[in-house]
Structure 1
Amino acid sequence: MANIINLDRVSKGYGAAGQLLTDVSLGLDDDARIGIVGLNGAGKSTLLRMLAKTEEPDSGRVTHRRDLRVASLPQTLTLDADATVSDVVLGTAWLPQSMGAEHEWAGDAGVRTILDGLGMGYLGLDTPVGPMSGGERRRVALAALLVRESDLLILDEPTNHLDVAGVDWLAKHLITRRGALLVVTHDRWFLDAVCTMTWEVVDQQVHTYEGGYAAWVLSRAERQRVAASVEARRQNLLRKEIAWLRRGPPARTSKPKFRIDAANALIADVPPARDQVSLQRLATTRLGKQVYDLEQVQLNAGPKSIFSDLTWQVGPGDRIAILGANGAGKTTLLRLLAGVTKPDGGRLVTGSTVRPAFLSQELKELPGHLRLLEAVEEVAKRVKLGDRELSAGQLAEVFGFTDKRIWTPVSDLSGGERRRLQMLRLLATEPNVLLLDEPTNDLDTDTLASLEDLLDSWPGTMIVASHDRYLVERVTDTVYGMFGDGRMVHLPGGVEEYLARVATPGFAPITAKGAEAPPTGPGLSAAELRQARKDLSRLERQMTKLSEKEAKINEGLALHGSDYDKLVELEAQLKAVRQEIAQTEEAWMELAEKVPGN
């Protein structure tokens, strides 16, 4: 290890934003892999710019090792509209001459691998960047950094505009890349996958922690518990987050490098993240039995076909994640369910009690003449979410708005704050169906934890289109994939199954349960096919009930082991139930052979 950058008593502030950093001293080693977290506006991007020496501190000193090669991806960038992909990635149309042009290994094959990994394999090297979207330009700029060697790679929100597969590819690429890494991102899975140390920017200081996001949450909560310096509400929120982390996949819980016993003591009395049975019962009460019923739906986005023949049911209390590449049609589907658009064919039936709230990716017009609290109270002064009743001010606090900030005019809010306010106002309408399109955009990690805690106890149907793997695993129970073939594919293996399918050349997605494929059964009309599917569902429910009955009889056998007469009676019942199970299974298998996709 060798030191490459030092910050010595560095301070930085701006007139309107106030003081961001005060007397910060840090060192960076040549093999460091550091994730930077903190609230929006805390100074994370400012810290990155000073480390890269693109901005000078107000006081203190930033020193670089001689001949240090720094490659930096800022939050905002400007590319020459006349430049091509080749000019940006291989030339110096964006990067300075000091970064160098075309390295030996950065030929067409190397560039193509990186563009493919970032989800831009459809681009030619002679494609002009002028007509591209902001997300495409950002990915081209990221590719320009990745084809070059550097001693320090600084990335500010690199996962923005990447889908789940792109984030997974970038994480694997960075893990094998030589040199130091500094990254600011709200993608907590990415932080855990890539980083071995975390810097938290808070209260004008930078605190250092060993490990990625999970280790940071656990260590910070332990430090706060010992110091007893934070209020009970925030502590309880952290403890819930820790409970979920410790109960999650082994890969997540094995990362933290601190005393596991302390973590277990901290979460000993924390209940599960959500009581699914109670929430399902509440959801059924509020929504009835029908939410969305799509039957042979055709859906287009301009000339592009999204679905050609989709049959899909969404029920009360369903918590569904939709995964797919950019442009797969996830937003178009949510707009259909929200009632913004209508199907181009087929039938969509929405339950009579459904009150949807649609969070789009665009920042809708907000009342700029009002203050933040007034903008919330304009919708509702008190909100009931599940078993919690909150005032407008308390709901604002959940979304990270302090007492002082709630009196800020809406017109003065940052982009991230306006995004939070947009979601806050949606929840204040007390919907019973949430349709969320990339809800984590512009939200910091603390606000995301608060949002997830709120969604854990929210009784209703939730459909989330997101590239945030952490959010998907935390708040949803069922995952569907959209692979551009006109079908919804049920993924029992969740995100891992999605990534495995995407990585398999020439894969053929299977039809989801309830997602209809074109009929191929011999002699079955569309009406007969629908009836056959209903019969299959009825037989599946019957088998479930019979299995439960069999389990109760077995419990009775164990309980009455010394009662001969009772045992004879129970044995006869068990024989009859098993015979009925066999007959039901045989009927199901016979019918399933006639129904395509089963």
Structure 2
Amino acid sequence: MAHLLGAESLHLEYPTKVVFDGVTVGIAEGDRIGIVGRNGDGKSTLLGLLAGRREPDAGKVTRRGGITVGMLDQSDVLPLDETVGHAIVGDKDEHEWMREPRIREVIAGLVGELAWDATIRSLSGGQRRRVALAALLVGDWDVLFLDEPTNHLDVEGVAWLAEHLNKRWGANAGGMVVVTHDRWFLDEVCNTTWEVHDRIVEPFEGGYAAYTLQRVERDRQANVIESRRQNLARKELAWLRRGAPARTSKPKFRIEAANTLIADVPPPRDKVALSSVAVQRLGKDVVDLLDAGVRYGDRQILQDVEWRIAPGERTGILGVNGAGKSTLLGLVSGSVQPTSGVVKRGKTVNVAILDQQLAELEPVMDEPVRVIVGRQKAGYAVDGKEMSPGQLLERLGFSSAQLSTPVKDLSGGQRRRLQLLLILLREPNVLILDEPTNDMDTDMLAAIEDLLDTWPGTLLVVSHDRYLLERVTDQQYAVLEGRLRHLPGGVEEYLRLRRAQDAASAGAPVKAAPKASSLAGAELRNAQKELQRLERQLKKADDDRKKLHERFASADQGDFAALSALQSQMAEVDARVEETELAWLELSEQLEG
């Protein structure tokens, strides 16, 4: 493949730190490169060097003659008084840009709902990000550099961006380099991964899943990386192979090697054990929403919501901005009262919320981390072992020196981790995470997911990060048109429903899948009936599981024989759900082509 751009012997240092030393990398036609690494190791700096935004202290960056390079900055830099239309197409008349399919597609996909004459100043953070992306993507670039392009985008926006980038160039044309913490996005768009660490850039073949496998193999062979990080990567790899992403028809790493590597790795969570502890902490009743609705004036936000939250339930919530996700969680936490229906709470329910505002840290901004943590309880149980708050801080990526750092001097990601630690030390039994992945690198996300795997309570997650949703939750629901809907097919089913919803509201037929189904006639009708049958089976299995949880909660906790029998039945139901979901997914793929 033809060379596009390269860097040779790059050296860059600050007064207190050497960032890169002797780094040589290249970008060729067809390269789709994802950059990963810890916060502060130089990912965005490398992007700036390659894009020509900054100069190295030594070494050089060279480009093939005539190539064009576009870059999306991590923070939006559009003039605040500029209009949406001018930011995207400049001074072009409408008849000019309307002739170009790419421009029409980008505008429809990213900013179709925005007023063309609105100023950047009037937009939200997510809307500004969409305008900045649109302004870049309407251009004709040979190489694109994208710094955290999924920041502020919802699940649909991330899915649209991945689809656009995958079809923007031919297989052996164009080049792209992206820095992002969104692991699903990395796997979807990248064929190469660069890990930035210890002043170097280490290349790996494939997307995030392939990178995870190769990194584990490297660590095992070299035997120089600390065992905790290695075990985290192996655990994450085990989930990648066993979870929903492994059921797709496009495996991104060598199956046999992965299966051999994880043969002795247990599932990420012991569901039965966690459920047992959750019942002991919560009892039979958590929160029941019974025909609940919320209306503000003439606007109906939620209606007819029926949701009986079980002890130990781990649920992801999806929905567009303004759909009512926050209102739904407010009903659960008690901060919002229903205007119709009923919300019942168990007597022992203790809800904690990890939100995006970090408001609980405001009063302690001038205090060192060590002092704040010292006021909390002395221990916390993880994997059956008691850990001190200091050990938990280390597990969440804090160094010894940072324990003496005032909160105001911590990075955004460090503040989020401290916020989570303080919440866990208060021992809530219902935990709500609202967009918890902001400002965190992929290694730290894996560490937090590992910590949540041992948390024995009810977990509700709202996030645009579909990897996190599928990793830490066992089921997903969507808020659609004011109602709560179960999603047996997870995020993919949600995206299909949203496409159908958009097409119906526009009075247009639903867009076809990229490939037509290979089924037709009676075979197609039979497959559709079978899909409906499987959905009914999933609902019944879900009901059976809830009834078993109730029986477990009301059983004599000293009758070990009865408890063991119930646990066996729960395991059988879980296996039935797993088998039925797999059949549902496989049949769905056939119907989509």
TM-score scaled by length of structure 2: 0.80
Amino acid paired to 1:329: G
Give the structure 1 partner of residue 470 of structure 2: 473
Q: Deviations over 1:147-201 (max 9, x none)?
A: 1110111111111111112211111110111211111111111100100000001
Matched, 1:443 2:440: yes
Give the structure 1 partner of residue 403 of structure 2: 406
Amino acid paired to 1:472: L
Structure 2 portions without partners, runs of 5+:
506-538, 549-593
Q: Deviations over 1:348-367 (max 9, x none)?
A: 22211111110111222522
Contact kept in structure 1, 2:129 and 2:153, CA below 8 Å: no
Amino acid paired to 1:499: L
Contact kept in structure 1, 2:12 and 2:58, CA below 8 Å: yes
Matched residue SS, 1:504: helix
In the superposition, relative to structure 1, how do residues 537 and 376 fare at CA in structure 2: closer, same or farther (>3 Å)? same
Contact kept in structure 1, 2:68 and 2:141, CA below 8 Å: yes
CA distance in 1, matches of 2:486, 2:503: 15
How far residue 81 of structure 1 moved from its aligned partner, in angstroms, is 2.4
Matched, 1:163 2:154: yes
Contact kept in structure 1, 2:310 and 2:546, CA below 8 Å: no
Give the structure 2 partner of residue 211 of structure 1: 206
Taking the TM superposition and a 5 Å limit, the aligned residue runs for 1:355-370 are: 355-366=350-361, 367-370=364-367
Give the structure 1 partner of residue 460 of structure 2: 463
Taking the TM superposition and a 5 Å limit, the aligned residue runs for 1:272-287 are: 272-287=267-282
Q: Give 1:148's match in structure 2, choosing from 139, 151, 157.
A: 139
Give the structure 2 partner of residue 20 of structure 1: 19
Matched residue SS, 2:120: coil
Q: Deviations over 1:6-36 (max 9, x none)?
A: 21111223346x3222221111113210000
Taking the TM superposition and a 5 Å limit, the aligned residue runs for 1:54-133 are: 54-91=53-90, 107=99, 111-118=103-110, 120-133=111-124
Contact kept in structure 1, 2:311 and 2:457, CA below 8 Å: yes
Q: Deviations over 1:81-112 (max 9, x none)?
A: 221111011017xxxxxxx9999665587545
Contact kept in structure 2, 1:200 and 1:207, CA below 8 Å: yes
Contact kept in structure 2, 1:73 and 1:158, CA below 8 Å: yes
CA distance in 2, matches of 1:537, 1:263: 34
In the superposition, relative to structure 1, how do residues 81 and 301 fare at CA in structure 2: closer, same or farther (>3 Å)? farther
Matched, 1:4 2:11: no
Q: Give 2:321's match in structure 1, choosing from 319, 322, 326.
A: 326
CA distance in 2, matches of 1:138, 1:116: 15
Taking the TM superposition and a 5 Å limit, the aligned residue runs for 1:234-383 are: 234-248=229-243, 249-250=245-246, 255-258=251-254, 260-300=255-295, 304-366=299-361, 367-383=364-380
Amino acid paired to 1:308: Q
How far residue 47 of structure 1 moved from its aligned partner, in angstroms, is 0.7
CA RMSD of aligned residues (A): 2.8
Amino acid paired to 2:462: A
Q: Deviations over 1:334-354 (max 9, x none)?
A: 233223333344332221111
Matched, 1:177 2:173: no
Amino acid paired to 2:446: A
CA distance in 1, matches of 2:471, 2:253: 22
In the superposition, relative to structure 1, how do residues 537 and 251 fare at CA in structure 2: closer, same or farther (>3 Å)? closer
Contact kept in structure 2, 1:91 and 1:102, CA below 8 Å: no
Q: Deviations over 1:428-484 (max 9, x none)?
A: 21211110111111111111111111112211101111111111111111211112x
In the superposition, relative to structure 1, how do residues 539 and 421 fare at CA in structure 2: closer, same or farther (>3 Å)? closer
Amino acid paired to 1:487: R
Q: Deviations over 1:230-270 (max 9, x none)?
A: 22222221211111112233356954445x44433321211
Amino acid paired to 1:267: I
Q: Deviations over 1:372-403 (max 9, x none)?
A: 23333333332224634221122112222233
Matched residue SS, 1:130: helix
In the superposition, relative to structure 1, how do residues 82 and 105 fare at CA in structure 2: closer, same or farther (>3 Å)? closer
Q: Give 1:496's match in structure 2, choosing from 477, 492, 498.
A: 492
Matched, 1:135 2:130: no
Contact kept in structure 2, 1:197 and 1:210, CA below 8 Å: yes
Amino acid paired to 2:238: A
Aligned residues: 508
CA distance in 1, matches of 2:22, 2:60: 10
Amino acid paired to 1:402: S
How far residue 405 of structure 1 moved from its aligned partner, in angstroms, is 3.0
Give the structure 1 partner of residue 414 of structure 2: 417
CA distance in 1, matches of 2:399, 2:496: 43
Contact kept in structure 2, 1:214 and 1:255, CA below 8 Å: no
Taking the TM superposition and a 5 Å limit, the aligned residue runs for 1:543-558 are: none
Amino acid paired to 2:460: I
In the superposition, relative to structure 1, how do residues 107 and 91 fare at CA in structure 2: closer, same or farther (>3 Å)? farther
CA distance in 2, matches of 1:496, 1:37: 25
Matched residue SS, 2:461: strand
In the superposition, relative to structure 1, how do residues 541 and 504 fare at CA in structure 2: closer, same or farther (>3 Å)? closer
Amino acid paired to 2:164: H
How far residue 493 of structure 1 moved from its aligned partner, in angstroms, is 1.2
Taking the TM superposition and a 5 Å limit, the aligned residue runs for 1:188-227 are: 188-227=183-222
CA distance in 2, matches of 1:266, 1:464: 30
CA distance in 1, matches of 2:546, 2:60: 72
CA distance in 1, matches of 2:7, 2:41: 18
Amino acid paired to 1:146: L
In the superposition, relative to structure 1, how do residues 9 and 302 fare at CA in structure 2: closer, same or farther (>3 Å)? farther
Structure with higher helix content: 2
Matched residue SS, 1:436: strand
Contact kept in structure 2, 1:106 and 1:147, CA below 8 Å: no
TM-score scaled by length of structure 1: 0.79
CA distance in 1, matches of 2:167, 2:339: 47
Contact kept in structure 1, 2:449 and 2:472, CA below 8 Å: yes
Matched residue SS, 2:451: helix
CA distance in 1, matches of 2:200, 2:312: 43
Identity %: 51
In the superposition, relative to structure 1, how do residues 506 and 49 fare at CA in structure 2: closer, same or farther (>3 Å)? closer
In the superposition, relative to structure 1, how do residues 223 and 543 fare at CA in structure 2: closer, same or farther (>3 Å)? closer
Give the structure 2 partner of residue 563 of structure 1: none
Contact kept in structure 1, 2:368 and 2:406, CA below 8 Å: yes
CA distance in 1, matches of 2:371, 2:116: 51
In the superposition, relative to structure 1, how do residues 542 and 309 fare at CA in structure 2: closer, same or farther (>3 Å)? closer
Matched residue SS, 1:347: strand
Matched residue SS, 1:158: coil
CA distance in 2, matches of 1:253, 1:232: 33
CA distance in 1, matches of 2:504, 2:309: 24
Amino acid paired to 1:3: H
CA distance in 2, matches of 1:105, 1:456: 50
